[in-house]
């Protein structure tokens, strides 16, 4: 389906906005993780060795989210993967919290719960955006 001027249909707005905000926040988090090990490791209880791989993964994820957003409305497959990935990431973080696999401080637990809230919110927003997008055809 083609739309005048290449713009997304009106009901793609939530999907595009959620993907782009997720990309921006994920990128910012990636930069924080790449640069923050020296001053965040002890207060959070996260091993310093975790910061660089997590930060690099988050930056790659941010680029992927932006690329997915650029394909909407022509394709929403990537958005489905993004929503699913966020849901899986939230479950993985809850698993880390429930098993005590990381020696987190109280602040670290709060930090990880904030991550769970972030990915759950964007999984939900993308899912709702996908439903609305499907109704615009």
Q: How is the chain split into domains, by residue range?
A: 11-135
Each residue's pLDDT tens digit, 63-108: 999 999 999 988 999 999 999 999 999 999 999 999 999 999 999 9
Mean pLDDT is lowest, of 5-19, 76-90, 113-127, for 5-19
At 1, the pLDDT band (50, 70, 90 cuts) reads: very low
Residue 30 has pLDDT above 70, yes or no: yes
What is this structure's pTM?
Answer: 0.86
Q: At what angle do helices 48-71 and 13-44 cross, to 10 degrees?
A: 180
Q: What is the mean pLDDT of the chain?
A: 91
Report how far residue 19's alpha carbon sits from residue 127's, in angstroms, rounded to the nearest whole number.
11
Give the pLDDT of residue 7. 55
Q: Helix %, strand %, coil % for the chain, to 5?
A: 85, 0, 15
CA distance 126 to 78: 11
| C-alpha–C-alpha distance, residues 10 and 132, integer Å | 9
Q: Is the pLDDT of residue 10 over 90?
A: no
pLDDT at 5: 47
């Amino acid at each position: 389906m083609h739309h005048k001027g290449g713009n997304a249909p009106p009901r793609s707005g939530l999907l595009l906005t959620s993907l782009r905000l997720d990309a921006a926040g994920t990128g910012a988090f990636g930069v924080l993780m790449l640069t923050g090990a020296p001053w965040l490791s002890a207060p959070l209880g996260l091993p310093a060795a975790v910061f660089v791989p997590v930060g690099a993964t988050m930056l790659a994820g941010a680029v992927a989210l932006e690329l997915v957003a650029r394909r909407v409305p022509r394709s929403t497959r990537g958005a489905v993967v993004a929503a699913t990935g966020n849901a899986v990431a939230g479950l993985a973080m809850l698993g880390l919290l429930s098993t005590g696999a990381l020696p987190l401080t109280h602040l670290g637990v709060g930090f990880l719960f904030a991550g769970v809230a972030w990915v759950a919110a964007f999984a939900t927003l993308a899912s709702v955006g996908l439903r609305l997008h499907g109704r615009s055809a």
